[in-house]
Structure 1
Amino acid sequence: MMRRGDQLFLGFLFCLFLSLAFAEGGKIRHYRWEVKYEYKSPDCYKKLVIAINSRTPGPTIEAEQYDTVVVELKNGLLTENVAIHWHGIQQIGTLWCDGTEGVTQCPILPGDTFVYKFVVDRPGTYLYHAHYGMQREAGLYGLIRVALPPGVSEPFQYNYDRSIILNDWYHKSTYEQATGLSSLDFSWVGEPQSLLIHGKGSFNCFTPGIQSGLCNATKLECPPYVLTVVPGKTYRLRIASLTALSLPLGHNMTVVETDGHYVEPFVVKNLFIYPGETYSVLITTDQDPSRNYWAVTNVVSRNSTTPNGLAIFNYFPNHPGRSPPTVPPVAPVWNDVDSRLAQSLAIRARQGYIHHPPQLVASLSRHRNLSPSVRVARKLCVYVVLYLVARLARLGSSVVIVTVLVVRNMR
């Protein structure tokens, strides 16, 4: 019969083992989110959207390499499940947090809360989005920005860091879209009504057939997205997209990162970007500082009737609401395959900055998402357990065997 003191000692040892074996490197980045349906007018047209803490796009996750991100997600939708996928995050050892409902996790039921917890082990630009039904089309998405740890430099220089996320926008509900797509005759709702740049677009409220009161061009949400810049500086612009678009900014763009990987720099005047992709481009604000400039998005790969998305590249101290005096830059035509192919062929991994696949995935998966800094803690835990084996021996041979097996698995 094990004595009370020995039971307490074993409990203490077990807690010590857990605290050391599962220690995580970096900081803890804690977010509390609630998902709800809300009425918003991102392109002047009022409709139900799915917002995170009343925001769409949702909050940007900011972290450093090897930080642990914790997201407490409450499902405030009354009749729908929800799940969020963290696009581009490897989820080594935390596959249950990948957010693919029905594959790696059960959906979050209405009123329930699920805690996502994972390590961001690679620097770069990523995004998150809904992975239940067509909720992504209702506005449930956002950005993830992972910086290098302090003291570690990137292979390029810039003065400021900005980010935008792009998507198309339908006025019909996700239920109408899903019903048509799942029907026997495969009915598509047609072209999107708007293209949003960081959650803002512009729909023509005078379009025939628009119900009175649903579209109001005077709403505060209606003005285009404004990206304010200081003349003579270099900006890192992180760009993520949920659809296939082209993006001319009226400035040269030097591509330095794609999908969380550094690439050999190359210059483009127009950036092609497809669903789920992310880029970092360097832009030098070397144009006439007395005016503002247009940023444009338009649909690629099909001859769409959707009007271009517009944003303002605001040169400080010009007023952000001041319209640029020239027409927006023109993107390549929708079926210009050669330009798209040229951009794809220009993407090459940057030498010296290639991320290799993890070598010990099976081992790491037993201990969650461990960064290299955790190796010291694991070794310390091994030594502590070995040191205490002698004391455990008097509690019985079975305890010693279990301890040795634990040590073996930790090495």
Structure 2
Amino acid sequence: IPLHPVEHSTRDPTTLTFEWHVTLGTRAPDGVEKQVYLVNGHFPGPTIEGRSGDRIIVRVYNDLRDEGLSLHWHGLRMQGFNAMDGAVGFTQCPISPGSSFVYDFRIRDDEHGTFWWHSHAQLQRGDGLFGGLVIHEPRRSDANAALQDEALLLIGDWFHRKQSDVLAWYSSPASAGKEPVPDSMVINGRGRYDCSMAVPARPVHCKATALSDFPPLIKKSAGETRLRVVNTGTVAGLTLGVDGASLQPLQVDGGCKVDAKAGDSVGTLYPGERVDLLLKWKSDQAAEPWFNVYLDHENLGFGNPALNPNHTFPALPKTVTGHDREYASPLKFRDHHMDLATLSSTEEPSHIVTADEEQTILLYASTQTLSVNGNIPLGFINHTSWHPQSLPLLSQNRSSWDDKQLIPFIPSGSKPTRVKLVINNLDDGSHPFHLHGYSFHVLSSFRAESGSLGSYNPYATPESDSPGEWNREKPLRKDTVSVPRKGHVVLSFVADNPGMWMLHCHMLVHMGTGMA
């Protein structure tokens, strides 16, 4: 999706107004027909481009027959606009069929980066109700020449079944608590599925996609291009590579600049996470360069003979037609692979990060399949499983909240509280956790060796004796973080944004079964 940095970064802040109609329609994003959500007739939905300080107004019309919906602005702080956050059960009721709702909020003056918007009602995100959201950093007009071409890549795993059917399977004893495996992958709403891989047990209406049907992901074969990449998927992480080009991470999530060298491949990018990459063509650039994506298998609990985890797409305007190199060879992890888990920030260290936190929140996340629950897998945080109440919590007095739900409370005083948030993962797969309303610094991340458990309890163990390495000097600032399998993360943030903010796993089946 081409972006327009000069148009937005050099103008004054303004008000951007949009009118969106949400419907359902039959499309074949990867060659296989499926009912997907459309915004103004398009999948994926519109991309919003703005700059710091802009006011954004989106009137959303729910033209669905029998589903409510909401929209969340993933990664934005939404400071002073908690009611616009879009989290059903927390800050709003679903927009009912036949009605509309106006989202009206302002971007902070210091806020810029790669974000995205998506449904936060039911499972609609996994069936296509999402789009891009890019906030450009203001620049002087004489800096125009320094701006690279920019492109937005919305990349994610894709299921041929409706997400309601996927969750119904997962929420049954048949799944044994193993995560569902996608069938395919799409970039900016387009994919390339090999129809011959469909299995008889799950027949599909499929038509092979010709290369000539694909718009190029990158406009030019010289110079530099900034790729803003979003993992819009529901389960799998991503690793990326481009034939004949290097990829250098520039920023992660909402604009945190990073110190990183260029690599031939970059990963792993987990659901909900974003990374900005600087693409540079090499002198030995391939005649027909391909954009390669590998779906990480860590969170795929079963094999799926219909899935090819390696996908290729034309990187540049095509000089070939038909189905040449129709399906991919495996993406090679060469010596020049850039591991996103090893990045450090280039931002100036903050006294807030280096100071001792004043409040600690300790969480243990897991999926459990218990006989008392009919052997149906549920997501738990500290032995509680989130289920939205009939009225959003923001509209209720705290005394009326369900006392069986885990809702940590951070009191506001004369100055913001410094909070340490520890999330332990008791499962065999990673959990990408997203915190609404805040960005946080990742002070420590630890993955246990196979067969062991790497939990951390700050009340019992000092930092110096914790199993993970700590980084208080140049920690990454993020809003979505992968909590490693059988490991933990330690996060730090300043509670300066009062409101009701959701913390949840961004894997759709985990959030849909209570991991929030």
| TM-score normalized with structure 2 length | 0.57
Judge which range, 265-274 or 321-330, deviates more. Answer: 321-330
CA distance in 2, matches of 1:319, 1:245: 27
Judge which range, 192-201 or 282-291, deviates more. Answer: 282-291
The percent identity for this pair of structures is 25
Tell me by how many angstroms 1:182 deviates: 2.8
Deviations 1:340-367 (A, max 9, x none): 8x431223233499999xxxx999xxxx
Quick one: which of 266, 272, 283 aligns to 2:261? 266
CA distance in 2, matches of 1:74, 1:153: 41
Q: What amino acid is the match of 1:345?
A: T
The answer for the alignment partner of 2:251 in structure 1 is: 257
**CA 87–54 in structure 1, closer or farther in 2 if over 3 Å, else same:** same
Quick one: which of 197, 203, 208 aligns to 1:217? 208
- Secondary structure at 1:267's aligned position in 2? coil
CA distance in 2, matches of 1:292, 1:93: 49
Tell me by how many angstroms 1:223 deviates: 3.9
Q: What amino acid is the match of 2:186?
A: L
Tell me by how many angstroms 1:325 deviates: 11
Retained in 2: the 8 A contact 1:31–1:70? yes
CA distance in 2, matches of 1:159, 1:217: 35
Tell me by how many angstroms 1:317 deviates: 7.8
Tell me by how many angstroms 1:328 deviates: 5.2
CA distance in 2, matches of 1:277, 1:157: 27
Tell me by how many angstroms 1:238 deviates: 0.4
The answer for the alignment partner of 1:20 in structure 2 is: none
**CA 70–331 in structure 1, closer or farther in 2 if over 3 Å, else same:** farther
Tell me by how many angstroms 1:173 deviates: 1.2
Q: What amino acid is the match of 1:42?
A: P
Q: What amino acid is the match of 1:330?
A: L
Q: What amino acid is the match of 2:345?
A: R
Tell me by how many angstroms 1:329 deviates: 6.5
Tell me by how many angstroms 1:180 deviates: 2.1
RMSD of Structure 2 on Structure 1 (CA): 3.7
Residue 277 of structure 2 corresponds to residue 286 of structure 1: no
Tell me by how many angstroms 1:124 deviates: 0.5
- Secondary structure at 1:292's aligned position in 2? coil
**CA 45–322 in structure 1, closer or farther in 2 if over 3 Å, else same:** closer
Residue 307 of structure 2 corresponds to residue 309 of structure 1: no
The answer for the alignment partner of 2:222 in structure 1 is: 232
The answer for the alignment partner of 1:76 in structure 2 is: 63
Q: What amino acid is the match of 1:164?
A: L
- Secondary structure at 2:194's aligned position in 1? coil
Retained in 2: the 8 A contact 1:51–1:58? yes
* Number of corresponding residues: 330
Retained in 1: the 8 A contact 2:151–2:226? yes
Quick one: which of 214, 221, 240 aligns to 1:247? 240
Q: What amino acid is the match of 2:331?
A: V
Tell me by how many angstroms 1:175 deviates: 1.9
Retained in 2: the 8 A contact 1:30–1:71? yes
**CA 327–85 in structure 1, closer or farther in 2 if over 3 Å, else same:** closer
Q: What amino acid is the match of 1:65?
A: S
**CA 213–241 in structure 1, closer or farther in 2 if over 3 Å, else same:** closer
CA distance in 1, matches of 2:187, 2:350: 30
Residue 77 of structure 2 corresponds to residue 90 of structure 1: yes
- Secondary structure at 2:69's aligned position in 1? coil
- Secondary structure at 1:104's aligned position in 2? coil
Matches within 5 A, 1:337-352: 342-351=339-348
CA distance in 1, matches of 2:138, 2:91: 30
**CA 351–292 in structure 1, closer or farther in 2 if over 3 Å, else same:** farther
Give the gaps of 5 or more residues in structure 1: 1-24, 364-368, 370-411
Tell me by how many angstroms 1:227 deviates: 1.5
Matches within 5 A, 1:68-217: 68-121=55-108, 122-151=111-140, 157-186=146-175, 190-206=180-196, 207-209=198-200, 214-217=205-208
Judge which range, 156-165 or 125-134, deviates more. Answer: 156-165
Deviations 1:141-180 (A, max 9, x none): 11111112241899x9542111101111111112211222
Q: What amino acid is the match of 2:156?
A: N
| TM-score normalized with structure 1 length | 0.70
Retained in 1: the 8 A contact 2:170–2:180? no
Q: What amino acid is the match of 1:347?
A: S
CA distance in 1, matches of 2:246, 2:352: 28
Tell me by how many angstroms 1:300 deviates: 1.2
Tell me by how many angstroms 1:211 deviates: 8.0
CA distance in 1, matches of 2:188, 2:48: 15
CA distance in 1, matches of 2:38, 2:93: 21
Retained in 1: the 8 A contact 2:247–2:264? yes
The answer for the alignment partner of 1:35 in structure 2 is: 22
**CA 74–181 in structure 1, closer or farther in 2 if over 3 Å, else same:** same
**CA 72–348 in structure 1, closer or farther in 2 if over 3 Å, else same:** same
Residue 324 of structure 2 corresponds to residue 330 of structure 1: no
Q: Which has the higher helix share?
A: 1
Deviations 1:74-94 (A, max 9, x none): 111111110111110000000
Tell me by how many angstroms 1:290 deviates: 7.4
Retained in 2: the 8 A contact 1:256–1:281? yes
Tell me by how many angstroms 1:226 deviates: 2.2
Retained in 1: the 8 A contact 2:211–2:314? no
CA distance in 2, matches of 1:326, 1:181: 29
Deviations 1:2-50 (A, max 9, x none): xxxxxxxxxxxxxxxxxxxxxxx82011111111110000010111001
CA distance in 2, matches of 1:149, 1:216: 45
Deviations 1:177-223 (A, max 9, x none): 122233355466842110112211122223342888811226x8994
Retained in 1: the 8 A contact 2:312–2:327? no
Q: What amino acid is the match of 1:295?
A: F
Retained in 2: the 8 A contact 1:254–1:267? yes
